[in-house]
Amino acid sequence: MPFRGFDVGEEQHHALSRALSHSASRRLRRLVTAARLVARCVRGLEPAVVGEILQLGLGTITGMGHREVRFRTPRPDPGVVGLRTADDVFLFAAQVPDIGSARTAIDALAELADRADTDTLLRHRRRCGGSGEWTGVEVSASFLGRRNFNRYDAEDAVGRALARKLGVGYHSRRGDAPPPPGHSAWRLSLDGTHATLMLRIFERPLHRRAYKSRTIPGTLHPPVAAAMARLADIRPGHAVLDPCCGAGTLLLEGRRLHPQARFQGFDLNPDAIGAARANAAGLSDVAIEAADAGDMPVGDASIDRVLCNPPWGTQVAPGGLLGRRPSRWWSELRRVLTPDGSAVLLLPDTGDLTTAIQHRLIPVHVQQLRLSGLQSYIVRLTPRPHQPQPVFPRRRPTADQPVSMSPEAPLRRQSGSRRRR
Ligand SMILES: C[S@@+](CC[C@H](N)C(=O)[O-])C[C@H]1O[C@@H](n2cnc3c(N)ncnc32)[C@H](O)[C@@H]1O
């Protein structure tokens, strides 16, 4: 009896059929329970999001695009809302071809609502830790390229169709009034090729952190801080320092990742110190003190990891010693790091790295980001060990005279009077 090209007996034929239908039903079950997810992030953090998804075992990566990572998980579970490097995470709902720029085509977007399998979406959202009921609809749209309609036109076309299908109310964003609590947040993106509809899993965006009760101008976006903390490779027992800690975002993201390390933050601004202390309230292993990053009250070679976005940006100017002598930043950084230590910094450009190298700090990783419309760079630096340099002889050596070698004079005197931690 032929069985897909092989000759088999009747008994074997039945056994094979049973086995095949068994694995087919397993495949089907996997397909029914599998969820397609989309993590949205800051431009440039896509590789960090991929790394975090894989490290947490959240699923398999199916694609990477502009500010997004697509992945598939066989069993949706609340782990996905624990992603720290992503701004937000959504369930993929439906996709149709992009409608182009004509305003008359806008009604075609309603097809996305028809195509979305809302029963499965609700089940997956509940399994991921989100709400298990539909109470109302709000939509946030974005598109690439020029269109003869605005985002509200696109949002209303999809939102009204979704609300009709689900039998709930629709909250338009035209009036700028916030949606009533509990509304389901949908996201629509038109990228020139596809119109994609997604459903947000959690009621609030993932980048909003519960610990951040107080903030300051120029405070860091928590997912960027989380990506920097992941890159820092903090280990149990490490001394971790942010010498310009602001509201403490880097320290708190680092601590969340590595609760067995010790964290210390300095700042000159009393508002920043107050905000960091409030955000770290109750954490005995996070110490915030008033100090100048240009003259840090810590011993030489006493810090394993430095995490910082120094005040070189447009929003915050350097103060204290750093304002008068910016190179103090690099000499102090080099002084406090242990020989196998490292610093992960967020810098507005890479020009400063020449100064870092002059201070024997070697950039081993540089990653470009786009943050609030500006380029920034996450840079990891490690200290280069002090190497004796040959001193050139004054006279040409003769064949029987060896070249004299002497160690290079130290770059700066190591102060023994520094306070130790
Ligand atoms: C870009 S902000 C840091 C933001 C911080 N990462 C956060 O998430 O809130 C830079 C900080 O450096 C501080 N600063 C400026 N000059 C300083 C100095 N010489 N020593 C210590 N901190 C300084 C500012 O007060 C400001 O809080």
How does DSSP assign 340-406, residue by residue? EEEEEEEES-STTHHHHHHTTEEEEEEEEEEETTEEEEEEEEEEPPP---PPPPSSPPPTTSPPP--
* Atom of ligand 1 lying closest to residue 215 CA: 9
pLDDT in tens, 91-130: 999 999 999 999 999 999 999 999 999 999 999 999 999 9
The superfamily (CATH) of domain 222-383 is: Vaccinia Virus protein VP39 (3.40.50.150)
Q: Of all protein residues, whose CA lies closest to atom 5 belonging to ligand 1?
A: 246
pTM for this model (two decimals)? 0.83
Q: What per-residue confidence (pLDDT) applies to 389? A: 61
* Cβ-based neighbours of 300, under 8 Å, separated by 6 or more: 335, 336, 414, 415, 418
pLDDT at residue 18 is higher than 90:
no
The model's confidence at residue 306, banded by pLDDT at 50, 70 and 90, is very high
Out of 245, 292, 312, give the residue to mutate to test ligand 1, the one with the largest number of ligand atoms within 8 Å of its CB.
245
Phi-psi region of 299 (alpha: psi -120 to 50; beta: other; left: phi over 0): beta
pLDDT at residue 313 is higher than 90:
no
Q: What per-residue confidence (pLDDT) applies to 20? A: 47
Q: What per-residue confidence (pLDDT) applies to 308? A: 98
How far apart CA 388 and CA 383 sit, in angstroms, is 15
Q: What per-residue confidence (pLDDT) applies to 393? A: 53
pLDDT at residue 1 is higher than 50:
no
Q: What per-residue confidence (pLDDT) applies to 174? A: 94
pLDDT at residue 418 is higher than 50:
no
226 lines ligand 1 (CB under 6 A): no
* Residue 65: closest CA among 100, 95, 26, 29: 95
pLDDT top residue among 24 and 304: 304
Percentage of the chain lying above the pLDDT 90 cut: 76
316 CA distance to ligand 1 middle (Å): 7
289 CA distance to ligand 1 middle (Å): 12
Out of 207, 268, 344, give the residue to mutate to test ligand 1, the one with the largest number of ligand atoms within 8 Å of its CB.
268
End-to-end CA distance of the chain: 81
Q: What per-residue confidence (pLDDT) applies to 392? A: 58
- Average of per-residue pLDDT across 154-163: 97
pLDDT top residue among 150 and 402: 150
pLDDT in tens, 359-409: 999 999 999 999 888 899 999 999 987 666 666 555 554 444 443 333 333
311 lines ligand 1 (CB under 6 A): yes
* Atom of ligand 1 lying closest to residue 266 CA: 21
What are the extents of the domains in the chain? 30-200, 222-383
311 CA distance to ligand 1 middle (Å): 5
How far apart CA 55 and CA 72 sit, in angstroms, is 14
Alpha helix ranges (H) inside 196-325: 222-231, 249-257, 270-279, 320-324
Token reading at 27: 């495949």
376 lines ligand 1 (CB under 6 A): no
Asked whether 331 and 295 are in contact (CB, 8 A), the reply is: no
Q: Which residue is associated with the tokens 């810098």?
A: 347
pLDDT at residue 421 is higher than 80:
no
CATH number of 30-200: 3.30.2130.30
Q: What per-residue confidence (pLDDT) applies to 354? A: 93
322 lines ligand 1 (CB under 6 A): yes
The model's confidence at residue 320, banded by pLDDT at 50, 70 and 90, is very high
The model's confidence at residue 25, banded by pLDDT at 50, 70 and 90, is low
The model's confidence at residue 63, banded by pLDDT at 50, 70 and 90, is very high
Measured in degrees and rounded to the nearest 5, phi and psi for residue 58 equal -85, -15
332 lines ligand 1 (CB under 6 A): no
Q: Which of 14-18, 259-263, 408-412 has the weakest average pLDDT?
A: 408-412
244 CA distance to ligand 1 middle (Å): 4
219 lines ligand 1 (CB under 6 A): yes
Q: What per-residue confidence (pLDDT) applies to 314? A: 75
**376 strand-pairing partners:** 369
- Average of per-residue pLDDT across 327-343: 97
- Average of per-residue pLDDT across 277-288: 97
